[in-house]
Structure 1
Amino acid sequence: MRVVHRASPWRSLLNADGTLDTSALTAPLVHLFNYISSPQTSLVDAYAWQLSLVESLVHYDLPAWRISQIISDHNAMLYRQAIELSLDEMRAQSWGEPPVDYCVLLLGSAARYESLLGPDQDNAMIIDDYPDHRHVEIDGYFQALGERFTARLDEAGIPLCRGHVMARWPMWRKRLSEWCAQLAIWSADRQVKRVQQTNILLDFSPVAGNPALAERLGENIAATLPKAPLFMHEMAALLDELPVALDRFGRIASRPGLAAPHDQAINLKHQGLMPLVSAVRLLCVRHQRHEIATRERLIALNHESRALTSMQSDMLLAAFERLQQCLLDQQRVNKAHGHAADGWVDLRHLREDQRLLLKFDLQQIKAFVKQVRNA
């Protein structure tokens, strides 16, 4: 189904006499921001507002990669509000102020500022070092904080992570020295589970608390992982677990066993975006780059590290942007019909030229992943 596109507000920017009509440009967003900025707006309402924001941004002809950054900014704002509300509640219940510095981290696509519609929670917490004899007192405080803010986000519509990657669990809530020790353990050999856990942690961004703790963790990661050859070899081998949505003849095809909703569906998140994101992440670890967002990583790998040629960087950036656009378009269709905003794309919704371009992009991603895997 093709939705009739409304006239872009950019066409109303100039009045007939040549003067600027900024109200015409801002009108699509003003009513939304007036609503969301109200102190009476709950987290539930603020998150529900997000789809209207996305539709307004589409009206501005923004590409999906820009919209995903704004969605991520909005989700980060919801995180900060949930954390502050939880802290206020704890103060009212005589928990007092946080006993030491801490930093809540966004993980995954939220950390890369690449969120689309329908994210779940992926987060962690760094706690500043404290004496062991205060562990029950201090960790108990931050456990309560983690449980409260993740519960608030769940109630708002950002569901709890089914893999338990959240600050409410000890695995993802540690002192800074414990995180550094954990990385040393994870990278000491080539156990698959440890590499997978490290991959989750590698995409992080501070959202609340003291960001200096996140900077120190990043420095430790950059100093530790490239010196662990067995770990790095397994990290490369795990790229085989993320095959691109192409068959052996180079045609678009869903991976068997992924429980596709029908035979014309591919999981573009798991079979397109994630192979690219994972290969780019690995290449950045090899070259000790600190960038987190995939776009920034691709640019840095060309301009700063020379790990990619300008042509490779540009081609992969274009592929990344087109895959995000394809996925966001499908998610908007799903939402309009009351369905889940997931990673599946219906190939029947694509024009022939779009299918050809998608096949080309997936072929470039497959070649890039192979290059990184075998380097």
Structure 2
Amino acid sequence: MRLLHRASPWRDLFSADNLPSPGELPPLLAPLQDALRELGPTPSLAAAHAWQGRLVEALQRLDLPAWRISQLISDHNDMLYRQAIRLALNEMQGQGWGEPPVAYCVLTLGSAGRHESLLGPDQDNAMIMADYPDARHTEVDGYFQSLGERFTARLDEAGIPLCNGHVMARWPMWRKRLSEWREQLSLWTRERRVKRVQQSNILLDFSPVWGDASLADALADHVARLMPRASLFLDEMAALLDELPVALDRFGRLVGGGQEAPHDQALNLKRQGVLPLVNAVRLLSLRHGVRAADTRSRLAGLVMKGALGQRQAEALVRALDRCQERLLVVQLANLKVGAMPDGWVDLSRLEEDERLLLRHDMLVIRSLVRSVR
């Protein structure tokens, strides 16, 4: 398992605020050049978001693995976030709001914060504000409430829908001063409460997307100090692993169906495979002080801490990679017929070797979940 690696130049693809020009790319990347030409130089937010399926097809033609494509989808969404926030700030300037009253940082959460997004995610975001006196609360929070409402509305209009669970910076619950975030996490981790653990699971996978990243670093420092000692909280987090069972029956056979399934052979690979793995790795990482945000880096960090064996970590990385690849295939197929890019996989459409490999990966994930719990 590679524990040390250089940053990939692919991660620079969407690091600027505008898409690269096709002429800037070498001929070797012709599929990506073609996709960029189809999009055009100055697309709207909605057009840029709708283009992601075409982007994935181009990256697949370039033989990029699914985990790297997932990173680049996340990077592209980060770029859309930055554009939406900049448009919102410019609009506020034109309306006389002035400059932001204090330093702040917008965070992406969940799969976006881990840079493991696939196609069709909704919004999960939050905001940290630098500490300010209580006497300025109406002035300062009023500014950032307006900013949060505006940029999340623009993303919604562009096709990244508002979060049904209201996990967005437009709501006070997810928009706080740094000291308030620290205090809230300290309160949440003192006892076993299901709702607080569920909210923390969303919050604890975060990444700065706009603003003063030192505020995000300060919150990450607090998490690293706090979590390894929060035994009751971590116990409840372990108990909640049972809420997302791996897609296997008690005999170790693949099982689909469920109340929300479109048919008996439908397996929700995101909910019954990827999320159990992600949740178990997050819990281990919090327990052992691994500060990485993405699952692959967390697994590498757990090996370095001695919390996981190298062979087990490598098997989990391969299982995650194959799950992401299978989900991208299904999501692209859904887009082509005008359906939503969801997480359902039709077991009846898999070849025998694909079913065997999927079952193997689910066994690997279930073994991890059981050992962590």
TM-score (norm 2): 0.91
Letter in 1 for 2:210: A
Unmatched runs of 5 consecutive residues or more in structure 2: 1-24
Pairing partner for 2:111 from 109, 112, 115 = 109
Q: Please name the residue that 1:3 is paired with.
A: none
For the aligned residues, what is the CA RMSD? 1.2
Corresponding position of 1:160: 162
Residue in structure 1 matched with residue 57 of structure 2 by the alignment: 55
Task: Give 1:286's aligned amino acid.
Answer: R
Residue 322, structure 1, aligned to residue 322, structure 2:
yes
1:313 & 1:132 partners in 2: Cα distance?
Answer: 47
Task: Give the Å deviation of 1:300.
Answer: 1.2
Structure 1 unmatched ranges of 5 or more = 1-21
Q: How big is the shift at 1:263?
A: 0.8
**Equivalent residue number for residue 307 of structure 1:** 307
The total of aligned residue pairs comes to 349
What is the DSSP-based 3-state SS (H/G/I as helix, E as strand, rest coil) of the residue aligned with 1:114? coil
Specify the alignment match of 2:368 in structure 1: 368
Equivalent residues in 2 for 1:183-332, closer than 5 Å: 183-254=185-256, 256-257=258-259, 259-302=260-303, 304-332=304-332
> Does the 8 Å contact 1:35/1:41 carry over to 2?
no
- SS of 2:114's equivalent in the other structure is coil
Moved more, 91-100 or 345-354: 345-354
Equivalent position to 2:68, from 58, 66, 83: 66
Deviation at 1:255? 5.7
Question: How far is the alpha carbon of 1:277 from its aligned partner?
Answer: 0.1
User: Does the CA contact (< 8 Å) of 1:106 and 1:122 recur in 2?
Assistant: yes
Q: Contact 1:105 / 1:208 at 8 angstroms: preserved in 2? A: yes
2: CA distance, partners of 1:130 / 1:337: 51
Tell me how far 1:51 sits from its aligned partner.
1.2
Match of 2:84 among 54, 57, 82: 82
Q: Quick check: 1:95 aligned with 2:94?
A: no
Aligned to 1:27: 30
Over 3 Å counting, the alpha-carbon distance change for 1:108 and 1:282 in structure 2 is: same
% identical equivalent positions = 62
Separation (CA, whole Å) in 1 of partners of 2:184 and 2:38? 44
Supply the distance in 2 between the matched residues of 1:70 and 1:134 (Cα, whole angstroms).
39
The normalised TM-score by structure 1 is 0.91
Task: Tell me what 2:150 maps to.
Answer: 148
Bigger radius of gyration, 1 or 2? 1
The one-letter code sitting in structure 2 at the alignment partner of 1:254 is: G
Q: Distance in 2 between matches of 1:286 and 1:37?
A: 47
Contact 2:35 2:58 in 1 (8 A): no
